[in-house]
Homo-oligomer: A and B are copies of this chain.
Amino acid sequence: MTVRTDRQADRRRQILEAAVHVFAKNGFHTSRVGDIAEEAGIAYGLVYHYFKSKEELLETIFRDTWTQMLERVREVESSSVPAREGVRQVTALLLRTWRRDPDLVRVLVREVTRSPHVQREIEEIGHAMKALEAIIRRGQEGGEFAPDVDARFAAVVWYGALDEVLTGWVLGQLPDKDGDIAEAERNIVALLVDGLAVRP
């Protein structure tokens, strides 16, 4: 039983990985279930043993990854590091984790976020936003960040910045060697925290 369950889990993972790859390359709507099966090296009827529908694949990809990510963001949120450090840690977390799997980013960021269907997923992203917002708000309450910027907006901007940098990497528009990632992290934090203007 355990053995079979493991095998099942492996198959599921195998199919999910293939789906991520294919969705990333062609987009959800343009991808055919057959493409995913082919990418996974299995017969395409088998996809339906493990997932109810093509849509369920997308949802699963989203939930699996996002849940993990959200947990880790919340860990930072609930630790007591200074706000600037919190911003740095979350930025690093997202950039570095996703950097490992750019295909996943494309799917999460482009397909899920913008799919008109998946209302629930949007809620989840809302949770993530709230977590970012909380970090910023704490900074404001602790006097580290200025109170005149709306925390909610700042979270959205922050999230958008991360999203766009990741997209830039995926699409090959931004340099992404190891040093570049550290540099990106530094730049994002510098921008968000210190802004562009010359400090007097």
Chain A residues with a Cβ under 8 A of chain B: 26-30, 83-84, 87, 106, 109-114, 116, 122, 126, 129, 136, 139, 143-146, 148-150, 152-154, 156-157, 159-165, 167-168, 171, 173-174, 183-184, 187-188, 190-200
Measured CA separation A106–B171 after assembly (Å) = 19
Residue of A109, A156, A173, A193 with most chain B CB atoms under a 10 A cut-off = A156
24 intermolecular pairs with C-beta atoms under 8 Å apart? A29-B30, A84-B197, A109-B114, A110-B113, A110-B114, A129-B173, A144-B197, A145-B196, A145-B197, A146-B196, A149-B187, A150-B183, A153-B191, A154-B187, A154-B196, A156-B165, A157-B161, A157-B164, A157-B191, A160-B163, A160-B165, A194-B195, A195-B197, A199-B199
Residues of B within 8 A of A152 (CB): 174
Residue of A113, A114, A165, A174 with most chain B CB atoms under a 10 A cut-off = A114
Q: Say how far A172's CB is from chain B's closest CB, in angstroms.
A: 9
CB pair A168 B156 closer than 8 Å: yes
Measured CA separation A111–B29 after assembly (Å) = 11
Which 10 residue pairs are nearest across A and B when measured between Cβ atoms?
A160-B164, A195-B195, A160-B160, A29-B29, A157-B161, A194-B195, A153-B187, A145-B196, A160-B161, A110-B113
Taking a contact as CB atoms closer than 8 A, the residue among B84, B129, B167 that contacts A113 in the complex is B167
Residues of B within 8 A of A27 (CB): 113-114, 116
With A157-B188, A160-B160 known, 6 other A-B pairs at CB within 8 A are: A150-B187, A160-B165, A161-B164, A193-B197, A195-B197, A199-B200
